[in-house]
Structure 1
Amino acid sequence: MSDLPPELAGALDAAARAARLLVTSDFDGTLAPIVDHPADARPLPEAARALVELSELPATPVALISGRALRDLRVLSSMPASVHLVGSHGAEFDTGFTYDIDRALLQTITDELTAIAAARPGVTVETKPASVALHVRNASFADGEAALRLAEEASARWDAHVTAGKAVLEFAVLATDKGEALDILRERHQASTVVFFGDDVTDEKAFRRLHGSDIGVKVGPGDTAAGFRIDAPEDVTTALRHLLARRAAGSGGRA
């Protein structure tokens, strides 16, 4: 496990002194390494432990913000109630949906994507309470590209919000995103500083909502609005343990 970049370590030291610190993270590719089969994803044990211990400190709310359905995020993350969960890119909070769901449209999208996937090995459809995702990670390049193209063409008929991720297209019947979810959490917990870890293009909307003393940490390569970058989920563990040690030494937040 590598050392943190000095600039990030210094920023986390400052964040640890915040009056109310909100610590947030994406799940896949950030807290949990990317795997071929989504159902096999699990958080790195030390990273998960650090998040839980942070959530037990005074004035330190903690949340996972994921594209996963809330039910799946709850099972895969195995987080206790002290860690708040936000699923479906902000459509599902552990306190309930943020908006009403157009279930007829959701079923139409599910049916059409299922038909696209049926003839292409490795292309899979993931249904969520507020969206449907088409995954091509395990398909051949030709089948994956064809499936994505057909899904994009079909989406012209749907009043759906399209989000492109790593080897996935997701079609939501709610126009929510991780940035909006971050704003809701910030307001709900009256956070003075926010830390957010993310790796995917869908996390950029959260990075762009950060300001002031907030800290955005991009995991892996790619253009980003985050102020800091680390290489892999193992480095997220290092960052969380660093933040935990500094925060705990100060007995939680202080002005």
Structure 2
Amino acid sequence: MTPPETLDEALRRAAAAPTLVVACDYDGTLAPFVDDPTSAVPAPGAADALARLADLPRTTVALLSGRNRAALCEVSGAGAPVVLVGSHGSEWEGGFDSPLDDDEVALLERVRSELEDIVSRTPGAHVETKPTAAVLHVRPVPDPAARDRAQSEAMAGPAALDGVFVTEGKNVVEIAVREASKGAAIEKMVEQTGAEVALFIGDDVTDERGFTRLRPQDVGIKVGEGETAAAHRVADIPAVVELLDTLADLRS
């Protein structure tokens, strides 16, 4: 039986691909989690590593985040040639495929209102409004029991409405009225570029939708602990930066 491919072997194979897509989650992968999402700047060396890769021929580098695209651009400081994809893969540079219809607008407003009701009873929680979703954030809530209760109420209430698409992550529940996934976004980039290999790095349960859509020749890398569909794992954000630097060195 052939032994599983090591991470070093996978990186060397990806580096040798004629055309390569490198997609990274942002929070928890390139930037540490903080209570104030607007202050989650990239870890030391992360931006430089991405820029090095993005400047290489036939290499597409993307930040693929649950944040809305404008917030991702502002907090990461990244821009062309790095591709910024927001709202779990549904928001690209050109915006969305089509505006929300009246039913979607009404549903989104109901979701937002019900989440705001939960927030009113949960000090520290807040609701983020995106173009196609509303998001409950409970990370800043000081009481762990209150955090769990708010997240459970969101899952039992607005997240259970007909016509919504739910992404539950670490201390966050995103409820969208348009379906999106990081896996579909990676597939779109692969199709557009003709990449022989895609490499995707992520840390959260929301990134599993990306890992499960990778092809056999692609490379999935999980950051930190927890069950995963990714074939490889690194310990933390500094290890991600080191990995990206190594990939840039190998591909240069």
Q: Is the 8 A contact 1:219 1:233 kept in 2?
A: yes
Alignment of 1:1-255 (within 5 A): 7-101=6-100, 102-139=104-141, 140-155=143-158, 156-248=160-252
Q: Partner amino acid for 1:161?
A: F
Q: Percent identity?
A: 44
Q: Is the 8 A contact 1:91 1:99 kept in 2?
A: no
1:211 to partner: Cα distance: 1.8
Provide structure 2 residue ranges, at least 5 long, that are not aligned to the other structure.
Answer: none
> Could you tell me how far apart the structure 1 residues matched to 2:176 and 2:98 are?
12
SS at match of 1:44: coil
> Could you tell me how far apart the structure 1 residues matched to 2:133 and 2:34 are?
21
1:122 to partner: Cα distance: 1.3
After TM superposition, the structure 1 stretch with the greater mean CA deviation from structure 2, 216-225 or 180-189, is 180-189
- More RCO (CA 8 Å, sep 6+): 1
SS at match of 1:10: helix
Q: Is the 8 A contact 1:52 1:80 kept in 2?
A: no
Q: Partner amino acid for 1:44?
A: A
SS at match of 1:179: helix
> Could you tell me how far apart the structure 2 residues matched to 1:241 and 1:211 are?
24
Q: Partner amino acid for 1:210?
A: L
Q: Is the 8 A contact 1:197 1:219 kept in 2?
A: yes
Q: Aligned in 2, Cα 1:158/1:116: closer, same or farther, shift over 3 Å?
A: farther
> Could you tell me how far apart the structure 2 residues matched to 1:99 and 1:192 are?
30
1:153 to partner: Cα distance: 2.4
Q: Is the 8 A contact 1:9 1:242 kept in 2?
A: no
1:95 to partner: Cα distance: 2.4
TM-score, normalised to structure 2, is 0.92
Q: Partner amino acid for 2:192?
A: R
Root mean square deviation of aligned Cα: 1.4
* Number of equivalent positions: 243
TM-score, normalised to structure 1, is 0.91
> Could you tell me how far apart the structure 1 residues matched to 2:11 and 2:115 are?
43
Provide structure 1 residue ranges, at least 5 long, that are not aligned to the other structure.
Answer: 1-5, 249-255
> Could you tell me how far apart the structure 2 residues matched to 1:212 and 1:158 are?
34
Q: Deviating runs (4+, > 4 A) in structure 1?
A: none
Q: Is the 8 A contact 1:179 1:205 kept in 2?
A: yes
Q: Partner amino acid for 1:40?
A: S
Deviation by residue 1:138-163 (Cα, 9 ceiling, x = unmatched): 21122222212221222233421011
> Could you tell me how far apart the structure 2 residues matched to 1:55 and 1:111 are?
41
